[in-house]
């Protein structure tokens, strides 16, 4: 296993992942997130200080080449310091075929992009995104169009919160 493979194989240990990363997680800058689906890919971005996240327009899945071109363009335009990809674990925490497929795509992104790739548990994020959109009064067609990117924003928020909770706090 290459040293870069730690970017996304140690889901529970972002501090160890950061040590192997060319752009440390402690360095301020935007992060992008993807919620990879069979037909649609949700996309979200953080602000430079990683305080807020916001959904971006979803990407319709086409070829790998087209997806890579689109994601590389987003990384460049937002000057992203990393890419967080939702890992679809089973409810009990195990990995199935969907997680295996996401890991394979994460490896392709790792080989193709110049930013570190991180995986984040995405259990129940689509459910939470549906609930949030429904509570906001969105109709079903708006919900379908926005849910994947809303889920990506939740994945990114969860990743940022997990990073912060594992960062030693400085004394005031």
Q: What is the pLDDT of residues 81-121, one digit of tens each?
A: 999 999 888 777 788 888 889 999 999 999 999 999 999 88
115 phi-psi bin (left φ>0, alpha ψ -120 to 50, beta other): beta
Q: Of 100, 103, 102, 99, which Cα lies nearest the Cα of 89? A: 99
How many separate domains does the chain show? 1
Nearest-angstrom CA–CA distance, 34 and 125? 12
Q: Of 16, 49, 20, which Cα lies nearest the Cα of 160? A: 49
Q: Are 89 and 99 in contact (CB under 8 A)?
A: yes
Q: Are 109 and 117 in contact (CB under 8 A)?
A: yes
The reply to whether 100 falls in a domain is yes
Q: Which domain holds residue 139?
A: 26-165
Q: In this predicted structure, what is the pLDDT of residue 16?
A: 32
pTM of the predicted model as reported, rounded to 2 decimal places: 0.78
CATH number at residue 42: 3.30.420.140
DSSP3 helix / strand / coil % (the chain, rounded to 5): 50, 20, 35
The reply to whether 7 falls in a domain is no
Helical spans, DSSP H, in 119-139? 125-135
Nearest-angstrom CA–CA distance, 37 and 145? 13
Answer yes or no: is pLDDT of 4 > 50. Answer: no
- Give me the residues paired with residue 82 across strands: 31
The reply to whether 91 falls in a domain is yes
- Summarize pLDDT for 5-63 with one digit per residue, the tens: 334 434 433 333 333 444 456 678 999 999 998 899 999 999 999 999 999 999 999 89
Encoding tokens for residue 162?
């997990």
The reply to whether 21 falls in a domain is no
């Amino acid at each position: 296993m290459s040293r870069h493979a730690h970017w996304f194989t140690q889901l529970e240990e972002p501090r160890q992942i950061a040590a192997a990363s060319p752009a440390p997680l402690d360095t301020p800058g935007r992060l992008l997130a993807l919620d990879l689906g069979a037909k649609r890919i949700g996309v979200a971005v953080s602000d430079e200080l990683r305080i807020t996240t916001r959904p971006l327009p979803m990407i319709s899945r086409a070829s790998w080449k087209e997806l890579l071109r689109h994601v590389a363009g987003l990384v460049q335009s937002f000057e992203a310091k990393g890419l967080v990809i939702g890992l679809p674990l089973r409810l009990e925490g195990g990995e199935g075929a969907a997680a295996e497929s996401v890991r394979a795509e994460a490896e392709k992104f790792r080989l193709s992009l110049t930013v570190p790739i991180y995986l984040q548990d995405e259990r129940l994020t689509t459910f939470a995104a549906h609930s949030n959109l429904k509570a906001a009064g969105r109709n079903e067609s708006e919900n379908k169009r926005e849910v994947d990117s809303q889920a990506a924003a939740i994945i990114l928020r969860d990743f940022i919160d997990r990073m912060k909770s594992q960062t030693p706090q400085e004394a005031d």
